Amino acid sequence: MLRRPDLLTLYAILFVLFLYGPVLLMPLFSLNDSTFATFPLKGLTFRHYADMAQNAPMMAALRNSLVIASVVTLASTALAIPAALALTRFRLPGAAPIVSFMMLPLVIPSIVIAVALLVVILKFLGLALSLWTVAAGHVLICLPFCLTVLMSRLEGFDPSLEEASNDLGCTPWQTFRRLTLPLAMPGVISSLLLGFIISFDEFVIAFFLTGTENTLPVYLFSQLRFPNKLPGTLALGSLILVGSAVLVILAEVIRKRGVQSDNAGDI
Amino acid sequence: MTSAPPIITLQGITKRFGSLTVLHDIDIAIARGEFFSLLGASGCGKTTLLRILAGIEQPSGGSLLIDGQPMAGVPANRRPTNMVFQSYAIFPHLNVAENIGYGLRNQRLSRSEASARVAEAVALVKLDGLADRNAHQLSGGQRQRVALARALVCRPKVLLLDEPLSALDKKLREEMQLELRALQRSVGITFVFVTHDQEEALTLSDRIAIMEAGRVLQLDTPRGLYERPASRAVAEFIGTMNLIPGRVAAVAGEAVRFDAGRLGHLDGRAGAAGLVAGGAAFLALRPEQLRLERAAGTAEAGPGRSLSGHVAEAAFLGDRIHYRIRVAGLDRAIAVFVNNAGGVAVHPLGAPVSLDWDAGAGLVLPA
């Protein structure tokens, strides 16, 4: 009776260590006064952070990734909102195949998508590779995620809410702006965050479709050959870790608020 | 009804969903300021008809005029109607005042005028002090009031109500019925009210259209429907009605001689046009219009207006006594309601009794 919970506790601790241990080593070594990421620790320093800020190519890659992720998530969410509305509001003929079709990028390996897009962009469209082609590829893979998040949010509505808004004198566009969008806002924010993180972190498509400029994942991969560059990478990684934690907490707070206002919609 | 032109005119309104016809050729004229009810069981088409008035559904055929204006091609947001939805459809992201003021934002009012109108509506439905409440902090009755105020504040020519009281408990429902009626009188707006509850319709309405399977069976005042039901379905739907099966023996103007088979010939008056001698029919008798006498065979009204049997059931309800009288030759026991005006003796079970009724109380309806 006593041993079983002990074993389970041990399992849980190991599980958490396995999940987060490697990630948590990163901020640890980023503060260690040594070029090499090894124990024993030598002492506390912030010089890796200073080096990182001085590293112009790395900062350029970071800026590229932030810009691409922002553009991509805005575009995918903007594209997904009307699609989610159409699929949840109307009885469209062939709605099920349309949804499956839009979800397809989820299950196609990104290497396949990357090669296919490369061929299309170079051979059929005759465009030069650039950050814009990366962004276009990212919109393709973010769209199904944004669509799923938005559809699950929009499906819960009482359809008479929109009828009531219409009845009270709103045109369909006013109803969207004053009722549907505010009610869908927690879903929209989740969609924006999800799209941002997926694009920011994506490697394969960015690697294939980028031109002369790098996104951050591609740049970091290229720097792994130089051990002395590693601490700067660790410093940047730690900052991104903190940034993502803040974003996730923010998203969760907003989602909780959304759940509260949802309960008000139940009748 | 007055000679003023009707506020709503429905002519030949038909609605089909695919191959299913849910409304057949509906013709109704609703007078200005009237409290008009559409009464019927679920699936009779009453809500669809209401949604056609609101512009949420489009009719497949026929014409609809509101205040003399044809409504074909006029979307819901440009109609002079507002609706109280069955679910109330309170906007969950807005508070009470914002919910009520929602429609006013589309009416190009000044900010001060709009807030004055909201305050007025809040007072009208007795929600004072709750203007800042969130939707999820409201009770069912309060939500209903918000929905009502939100529609009335837009000053529609017609207020449409889709079973607004069905989600409330019995006591609150009866309270709201009286308030609704008083509210309608004070604002003077035409109300079109959908319900499946005949008592509610009788309590509230100036006139009622009884609907069944997409058709209007009868349209009349509550009293007219109760006293002159034109068909068996209406007779059974409104109140309690005893129906004795048989045939028409002879028709002489209003007076009908009714052949009740083993029970002999009974007198009645014609409840509908087109009764012909020999046609299958029912004699309809209201339970409260029957008199009950002890001992068989001594009814006062004479052989054409009496029956005899014995007490099968007796229920004492305080203000009245409900009897079921078993009559030889009838499958269904006859219901008799006797008013307890004080000191009325209760007939014991099994006691032989005779029933009789006044001339004109028996209504002959086609089968």
Query: Which chain B residues are within 8 Å of A160, Cβ to Cβ?
Result: 85-87, 89
- B90 in Cβ contact with B138 (< 8 Å): yes
What is the separation of C-alpha B139 from the centre of its chain, rounded to a whole number of angstroms? Answer: 27
Residues of A in contact with B149 (CB under 8 A): none
Residue A135 above 60 pLDDT? yes
In this complex, how many residue pairs, one in chain A and one in chain B, have their CB atoms less than 8 Å apart? 77
Closest residue by Cα to residue B317 from B336, B340, B294? B340
B216 token code pair: 């209007």
Decide: A66 and A243 in contact? Cβ < 8 Å: no
pLDDT at A110: 86
Handedness of CA B145, B151, B153, B157 (dihedral sign): negative
Task: Give backbone dihedrals phi and psi of B359, rounded to 5 degrees, phi first.
Answer: -60, 135
pLDDT by position in tens, chain B (length 367): 456 789 999 999 999 998 999 999 999 999 999 999 999 998 899 999 999 999 999 999 999 999 999 998 899 999 999 999 999 999 998 999 999 999 998 888 888 888 899 998 888 888 888 888 888 888 888 898 999 999 999 989 999 999 988 878 888 888 888 888 988 988 889 999 999 999 899 999 999 999 999 999 999 999 999 999 989 889 988 889 999 999 998 888 888 889 888 888 888 888 888 788 888 999 999 999 998 888 655 555 567 888 888 899 999 888 899 999 999 888 899 999 998 887 777 888 988 998 888 888 889 998 8
Instruction: Output the six-digit token pair for B57.
Output: 């559904």
At A4, is the pLDDT very low, low, confident or very high (cuts 50, 70, 90)?
low
Q: Cβ B76–A171 below 8 Å, yes or no?
A: no
Residue A43 has pLDDT above 90, yes or no: no
Q: How many CB atoms lie within 10 A of CB A133?
A: 23
Per-chain mean pLDDT for chain A? 84
Nearest CA in chain B to A264: B136
Higher pLDDT, B318 or A75: A75
Rounded Cα gap, residues A52 and B290, in angstroms: 100
Pair B187, B152: CB distance under 8 Å? yes
Q: Is A265 helix (H, G, I), strand (E, B) or coil?
A: helix
pLDDT at A39: 73
| Interface list for chain B against chain A, based on CB atoms closer than 8 Å | 54-56, 75-78, 81-83, 85-93, 102-103, 105-107, 134-136, 143, 150-151, 154, 167
| Stretch A44-53: mean pLDDT | 79
Q: How high is the ipTM of this complex?
A: 0.81
Contacts B75 to A, Cβ<8 Å: 166
- Amino acid letter, residue B53: L
> In terms of C-beta density within 10 A (0-12 exposed, 13-18 middle, 19 or more buried), how is residue B351 classed?
middle
Determine phi and psi for A222, rounding to 5 degrees.
-70, -20
Under an 8 A CB cutoff, do A163 and B56 touch?
yes
Please give the helix or strand (H or E) that residue B233 lies within, else none: helix B232-237
Q: What letter represents residue B201's amino acid?
A: A
- Which overall architecture, per CATH, does domain A41-158+185-256 show? Orthogonal Bundle (1.10)
Kindly report whether the global pTM for this prediction surpasses the value 0.95. no
Nearest CA in chain B to A170: B77
A161 confidence band (pLDDT: 50, 70, 90): very high
What is the Cα gyration radius of chain B?
25
Segments in chain B forming alpha helices (H): 46-54, 96-101, 111-124, 140-152, 170-187, 198-204, 222-227, 232-237
Residue of B81, B87, B94, B148 to mutate when probing chain A, most A C-beta within 10 A: B87
